[in-house]
């Protein structure tokens, strides 16, 4: 039997829909970005086993598969109560920063074309060195990583050149989010760390650092289960809207944080004993000697080498238990949270995934509302969307080529 499917509408990858709601008197009440094409994926994992999670999460988002991969593995680490060995953590860090460079490079294509092409090529090189030669990663496992990194694949001269050129990229110029907080991952001292064990909440002069495991208790959705959940974070006794990403952590580098991730690649290579500095330097020779010692140790004592890359034993022993696991990663667009509730058979009874796009939607709505009220039109709305950088194809459209459709809504009309 043959079926015929009729396609009546083409989806515009560069298209973005903005809903503008008016008050009864005709004034603009609010403008909001349409996230209907960005459905919640949490329910897809409920009922699945933790053994299925590693493969499933990498397919949740074609734009950020590595970030989902690492967030899920960190949640399983937490579920099992495992401390990932330092070397395995460095491999994960290399994977993360390579992914960020690979993701962000196209955003520079229309302003710094040559640099964008080289960053893309280098990001792929770093991903391969971390054990991810293709688009979907299979690097991290509960308690560590599958294999050691091959730092010889990273071109040291290119890294040095890119770090120097990234320092000249334009600085961040993002509108403030009044009455709201900024949230990002950090170390115990509050310094930004995309794989940190803490998160910091900042609003004005108030600043709180909390362990990652407290995230589900200190963040709530004001619209539970909605595509636009409008999350809030607890700071002191107040629940505040908040934003995440480069604007939240006030990066001292470029617009998207490319310089930060190039520095991250260098730091990961140094921890791995790889070529973080140019060949011929004293530091490079020292690191090369260290890398050689690690390789010899791996050949002679495979048990010790395995312990440096993974803790916790087999998968079933690690995550087939009841409890909650919380995993956060500060990815290219900001904080991504995976929270898993698991029964004694290792099956997910609950799943909460909070994306950077969902967390930044209130900030984007505020910028869109300002653009609509000021008469900035579609150009101003496009700029607001680029600033918030939602995880949708429209964010990668050439300047001026994002097709913003404004849908006017009357008082009481639902989106």
Would you list which residues are annotated within the binding site for Mg(2+)?
353
Instruction: End-to-end CA distance of the chain: give it in Å, rounded.
Output: 39
Q: What 8-state DSSP symbol labels residue 391?
A: S
Contact 290, 63 (CB under 8 A): no
Within 8 A by CB and 6+ apart from 258, the residues are: 100, 101, 104, 105, 108, 119, 166, 169
Nearest one of 380, 415, 386 to 14, comparing CA atoms: 386
- Residues making up the binding site for Fe cation: 64, 394
Contact 77, 311 (CB under 8 A): no
Q: How many DSSP H helices and E strands does the chain contain?
A: 13, 14
Contact 245, 360 (CB under 8 A): yes
Neighbours of 356 (CB within 10 A): 26
Could you list the beta-strand ranges (E) of 244-357: 323-331, 334-342, 348-354
Strand partners, 182: 202, 243
Q: How many residues does the chain have?
A: 415
- Residues making up the binding site: 61, 64, 353, 391, 394
């Amino acid at each position: 039997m043959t079926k015929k499917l009729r396609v009546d509408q083409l989806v515009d990858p560069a298209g973005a829909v903005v809903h503008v709601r008016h008050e009864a008197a005709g004034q603009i009440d609010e403008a909001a970005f349409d996230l209907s094409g960005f459905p919640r994926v949490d329910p897809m994992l409920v009922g699945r086993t933790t053994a299925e999670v590693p493969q499933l999460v990498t397919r949740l988002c074609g734009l950020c598969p590595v970030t989902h991969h690492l967030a899920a593995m960190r949640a399983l680490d937490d579920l099992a109560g495992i401390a990932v060995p330092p070397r395995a953590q460095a491999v994960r860090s290399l994977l993360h920063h390579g992914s960020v460079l690979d993701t962000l490079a196209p955003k520079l294509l229309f302003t710094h074309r040559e640099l964008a092409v080289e960053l893309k090529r280098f990001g792929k090189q770093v991903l391969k060195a971390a054990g991810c030669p293709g688009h979907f990663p299979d690097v991290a496992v509960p308690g560590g990583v599958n294999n050691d990194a091959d730092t010889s694949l990273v071109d040291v001269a290119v890294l040095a050149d890119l770090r120097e050129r990234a320092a000249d990229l334009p600085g961040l110029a993002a509108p403030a989010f009044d009455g709201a907080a900024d949230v990002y991952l950090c170390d115990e001292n509050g310094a930004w760390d995309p794989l940190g064990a803490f998160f910091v909440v900042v609003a004005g002069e108030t600043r709180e650092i909390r362990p990652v495991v407290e995230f589900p208790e200190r963040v709530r959705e004001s619209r539970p289960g909605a595509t636009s959940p409008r999350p809030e974070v607890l700071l002191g006794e107040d629940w505040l809207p908040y934003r995440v990403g480069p604007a939240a952590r006030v990066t001292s580098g470029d617009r998207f944080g490319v310089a930060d991730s190039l520095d991250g690649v260098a730091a990961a290579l140094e921890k791995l004993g790889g070529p973080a500095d140019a060949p011929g330097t004293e530091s490079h020779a020292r690191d090369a000697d260290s890398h050689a010692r690690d390789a010899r140790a791996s050949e002679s004592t495979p048990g010790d080498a395995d312990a440096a890359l993974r803790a916790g034993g087999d998968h079933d022993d690690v995550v087939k238990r009841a409890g909650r696991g919380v995993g956060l990663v500060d990815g290219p667009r900001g904080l991504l949270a995976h929270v898993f509730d698991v029964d004694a058979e290792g099956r997910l009874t609950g799943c909460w995934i909070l994306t950077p796009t969902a967390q930044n939607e209130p900030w984007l709505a505020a910028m869109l509302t300002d653009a609509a009220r000021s008469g900035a039109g579609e150009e101003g709305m496009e700029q607001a969307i680029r600033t918030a950088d939602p995880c949708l194809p429209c964010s990668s459209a050439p300047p001026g080529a994002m097709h913003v459709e404004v849908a006017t809504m009357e008082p009481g009309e639902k989106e």
